[in-house]
Amino acid sequence: MAKVLVIYESDYGNTKKAAEAVVEGVNSVNGATATLKVAEEVTAEDMLSHDAYIMGSPVHMGCMDWRLKQFIDKVCSKLWMGDKLVGRVGGVFTTGSGFGSAGGGCEITMLSMYNNFAELGLILVPLPKCTPGYKDGGLQWGPYARSASPTMEQTGTSKESLEVVKNHGANIARVALATKGKELFCR
Ligand SMILES: Cc1cc2nc3c(=O)[nH]c(=O)nc-3n(C[C@H](O)[C@H](O)[C@H](O)COP(=O)(O)O)c2cc1C
């Protein structure tokens, strides 16, 4: 069984909805199971008892939510010091209003989370453009579910944009299953 921890923060429910779509995708894969938690509640023991991590953030001023960075610095840094998570699996997703209609910082938000996951030695799972639903919210780093219309009306994330989010969860679960228990990296 591959255990996937979905870690997120959400003030208005959009990222929570996307996180629930990720969970649905993970649970659709035979042999995989998802746990959903806000970053403030994730402990080092949670990290050690899971095989893969999918982290989702609302875009805040072009960055990840501060509570996710706090989790990285407070919980993950000790695991990083001891190389405890090397060879496990990671992926990211975001939601944002898209200020400026150009993604509003979603790409750099995903890249900064990706960078933290690379520091931990995780196998990073991208989002290939052939993934069903990619046209409605896909970026190569992960899915981006826009929660506002082009005129910035707060519409919430659409059903269409959540399809690729769900498929990203399934992809990561399959990679976690394929790599679980294997010593892939030199130490
Ligand atoms: C403090 C703050 C800063 C934000 N900055 C951005 C931004 O830089 N770019 C963007 O596209 N959306 C920005 N947004 C909009 C949120 O990313 C968007 O509404 C998101 O879907 C909210 O997720 P949530 O419902 O999970 O809290 C910001 C929202 C807040 C509250």
Whether 74 shows a pLDDT value over 90: the answer reads yes
Q: How far is the CA of 31 from the centre of ligand 1 (A)?
A: 34
Burial class (CB in 10 A: 0-12, 13-18, 19+), 24: middle
Map tokens 């938690």 to a residue: 37
Burial class (CB in 10 A: 0-12, 13-18, 19+), 110: buried
Ligand 1 within 6 A of CB of 104? yes
Ligand 1 within 6 A of CB of 161? no
Whether 101 shows a pLDDT value over 90: the answer reads no
Ligand 1 within 6 A of CB of 61? yes
Candidates 105, 137, 107; CA nearest to 22 is 137
- Residue with the nearest Cα to atom 4 of ligand 1? 60
Whether 151 shows a pLDDT value over 90: the answer reads no
Per-residue DSSP letter, 120 = T
Pairing type for strands 2-8 and 52-58 reads: parallel
Please name the helix (run of DSSP H) or strand (run of DSSP E) that holds residue 90, with its range, or none. strand 89-96
Average pLDDT of the segment spanning 25-53: 98
Q: What is the pLDDT of residue 103?
A: 67
Whether 45 shows a pLDDT value over 80: the answer reads yes
Q: What is the pLDDT of residue 102?
A: 58
- Whether pTM > 0.85 for this model: the answer is yes
Q: Which atom, in ligand 1's list, is nearest to the CA of 62?
A: 8
- Residue with the nearest Cα to atom 22 of ligand 1? 58
Average pLDDT of the segment spanning 126-148: 94
Residues in the chain: 187
Instruction: Flag the least confident range among 48-52, 159-163, 174-178.
Output: 159-163
Candidates 22, 74, 19; CA nearest to 43 is 74
Q: Which atom, in ligand 1's list, is nearest to the CA of 13?
A: 25
